Amino acid sequence: MNSKIETCDFTWNPITGCNHACGYCYARRMAKRLAGRYGYPKVNPFTPTFHRDRLIQPMLWKKSRKIFVCSMGDLWGRWVSKHDIDLVLFRCATLPRHVFQFLTKNPVRYSDFDCIPNGWYGTTIDGLPFTQGNLEKLVHSTMGAKVRFISFEPLLAEIHPNLYDIDWIIIGADSSRGAKKPPKEWADILIDYARGTDTAVWVKDNYGYLDKIKEWPEEKR
């Protein structure tokens, strides 16, 4: 699908659903809203599901695109079979014209697979205990990655990361209804660390940051 997500051109969801149960999850809210609209309120719309018929979709996009894989789930969750991940990675590897952006809260799973040349590998760090240590896990699990990135979205606490092995950071806010905007100073800290390591920075519009900072990792090379 054409994406409203700033940091990609398309989203592609061969697998949907997630068992992480993050309280701020926009994808879970969206799935529940759609289920209610179409009359399935008693069904869990966020049960992890593999959509084999969607494997063909990126083949139809002839122009080069940045494609966010599984924006409505976590491809690398413990509940996803190795076989299903292999099928998705094989499709990605056969389409070198595209860049495939992977994002997970379980970055150690990356180490079970070879990094594909046209893959960008990321993890989420939100400031909560569940995602502590994800930066180090990402680096150790993706030694062959072309691009490593951290999504600090939603940014829920002040964080002081070591970004020397990170090519790109994304900074965003909690999009839940009524959620408070994070302080400007939390973004300032991350941007200062990124400037010290020549790491590209993308601040999402939902943060409300005064300066427009939208850099791609290729621009820093």
- Average pLDDT score over the chain: 92
What residues make up the domain containing 49? 10-156
**Residue 103 within a domain:** yes
**Residue 35 within a domain:** yes
**Residue 88 within a domain:** yes
**Residue 164 within a domain:** no
107 CB-contact burial (10 Å; exposed 0-12 / middle 13-18 / buried 19+): buried
Q: Give the model confidence (pLDDT) of 75-107 as tens digits.
A: 999 999 999 999 999 999 999 999 999 999 999
Q: How many structural domains is the chain composed of? A: 1
**Residue 179 within a domain:** no
How confident is the model over 3-24, as a mean pLDDT? 90
Quick one: pLDDT band at residue 21, thresholds 50, 70, 90? confident
Which residue(s) pair with 2 in the sheet? Answer: 10
Q: Give the model confidence (pLDDT) of 143-183 as tens digits.
A: 999 999 999 999 999 999 999 999 999 999 998 888 899 99
How confident is the model over 46-74, as a mean pLDDT? 95
d(CA 101, CA 116): 11
Quick one: pLDDT band at residue 53, thresholds 50, 70, 90? very high
**Residue 106 within a domain:** yes
Over 70: is that where the pLDDT of 40 sits? no
What token pair was written down for 214?
Answer: 């939208």
Q: Give the model confidence (pLDDT) of 182-197 as tens digits.
A: 999 999 999 999 999 9
Q: What is the 3-state secondary structure (H, E, C) of 21-65?
A: CCCCCHHHHHHHHHHHHCCCCCCCCCCCEECHHHHHHHHHCCCCC
**Residue 185 within a domain:** no
**Residue 197 within a domain:** no
